[in-house]
């Protein structure tokens, strides 16, 4: 019987940050469920979703943390930056102010995370061509000045969404492979190589408690 297997080789934690309303939650559901809600609900605190992709025959499980964009939530959300291998900073190409906040988000990430975090700048809502306030080359220039990856996406029409996540996960994979992280579990609890953990058999899962790194 052909069934989907939940086995994966690596587990990488990624955070989504950016101003309120730039489309973080929709980018995430587009990626994990291929869904888009015109009226998605306001995110409170942090939410979480996972997805598995294949990079060079390795199954990589992305654990993606979606954070609330409102300023005052940073007190809570910044705790989630720690241990993350990657971050997407989103802005809305049709709202200049959200692009202007990018620098603040970047600073926030750097202050609260491990140094070698892969950061990607994402100009979302690229479908709103008529309302564009941030030119592609402005985004690109900011990204290259700060050593970030850059992509423009549209969670609405799905363009570049998978590409964005695949790119960042591949880069993390390459980075980690080039420089294997040695077992400081407290600092990076999610890096462990995970043996095929199956969720089919709860009893079995229960018996090998130790192998679960999630």
Partner 1 sequence: MLEPVEQGPHDAGVTKLEDILIAKRSEPVREIIGNCSNLNAQFEASLKSQLRMLKNSANTQGNGKLDSSEVVQAKLERGSSSRKLSVRKSSAKREISAVLAMDQLQRDQVLQEMWQTEENRESSKRRRELCFMGVPVVLRGAVWSESLGNPLQLNDELQKVLTERVTQNEADLLRNSHGDVTDGVSRINTASNSIALDVPRTFTDLEFLHEGDLNSRDELGCLLEKYALFRPEVGYAQGMSFIAAMFTLHMDPYSAFRAFASIVETTILRDFYVMKMSQVRVYMNVHSSLLQAEIPDVYYHFKQHKVNPDLYMINWVMSLFSKTTPLELTCRLWDVLLLDGDVGIFRIALGLIKHIAKVFTRCNQDECLHLLTKYPMYENNDEVIASVRSVSLSKRKLKQVVSKCTSDIRKGEPDP
Q: Which residues bind partner 1 (CB under 8 A)?
A: 2-8, 20-21, 31-34, 37, 39-54, 59, 68, 70, 72-73, 75-76, 79, 158, 162, 166, 189, 197-200, 202, 205, 209, 212, 214
Tell me how far the alpha carbon of residue 152 is from its chain's centroid: 15
Nearest distance from residue 162's CB to partner 1, in Å? 7
Instruction: Enumerate residues 6+ apart whose C-beta is below 8 A from 143.
Output: 121, 149, 150
Nearer to partner 1, 133 or 162 (CB): 162
Nearest distance from residue 31's CB to partner 1, in Å? 7
Nearer to partner 1, 70 or 175 (CB): 70
Nearest distance from residue 57's CB to partner 1, in Å? 9
Give the separation between CA 109 and CA 121, rounded to whole angstroms.
12
Nearer to partner 1, 49 or 181 (CB): 49
Nearer to partner 1, 46 or 128 (CB): 46
Nearest distance from residue 15's CB to partner 1, in Å? 14
Nearest distance from residue 200's CB to partner 1, in Å? 5
Helices (H), 117-211: 136-145, 161-178, 202-207
Nearer to partner 1, 76 or 141 (CB): 76
Give the single-character DSSP code of 174: H
Instruction: Enumerate residues 6+ apart whose C-beta is below 8 A from 91.
Output: 18, 19, 22, 98, 99, 101, 102, 121, 122, 123, 124, 134, 139
Nearest distance from residue 13's CB to partner 1, in Å? 11
Asked if residue 125 lies in contact with residue 92, where contact means CB atoms within 8 angstroms, the answer is yes
How many helices (H) and strands (E) in the chain?
Answer: 7, 6
| Largest CA-CA distance found in the chain, in angstroms, rounded | 57
Nearer to partner 1, 116 or 157 (CB): 157
| Structure tokens belonging to residue 108 | 């926030």
| Structure tokens belonging to residue 21 | 């309303």
């Amino acid at each position: 019987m052909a069934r989907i297997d939940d086995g994966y080789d690596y587990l990488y934690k990624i955070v989504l940050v950016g101003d309120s309303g730039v489309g973080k939650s929709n980018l995430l559901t587009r990626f994990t469920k291929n869904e888009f809600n015109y009226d998605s609900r306001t995110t409170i605190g942090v939410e979480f979703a996972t997805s598995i992709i294949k990079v060079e025959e390795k199954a990589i499980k992305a654990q993606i943390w979606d954070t609330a964009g409102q300023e005052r939530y940073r007190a809570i959300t910044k705790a989630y930056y720690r241990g993350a291998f990657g971050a997407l900073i989103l802005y809305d190409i049709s709202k200049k102010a959200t692009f202007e906040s990018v620098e603040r988000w970047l600073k926030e990430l750097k202050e609260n995370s491990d140094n070698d975090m892969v950061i990607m700048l994402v100009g979302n809502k690229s479908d709103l061509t008529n309302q564009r306030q941030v030119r592609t080359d402005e985004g690109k220039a900011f990204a290259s000045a700060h050593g970030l990856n850059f992509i423009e996406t549209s969670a609405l029409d799905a363009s570049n969404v998978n590409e964005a996540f695949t790119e960042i996960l591949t880069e993390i994979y390459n980075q980690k492979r080039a420089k294997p992280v040695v077992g400081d579990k407290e600092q990076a609890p999610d890096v462990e190589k995970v043996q095929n953990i199956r969720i089919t058999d709860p009893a079995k899962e229960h018996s090998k408690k130790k192998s679960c790194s999630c």
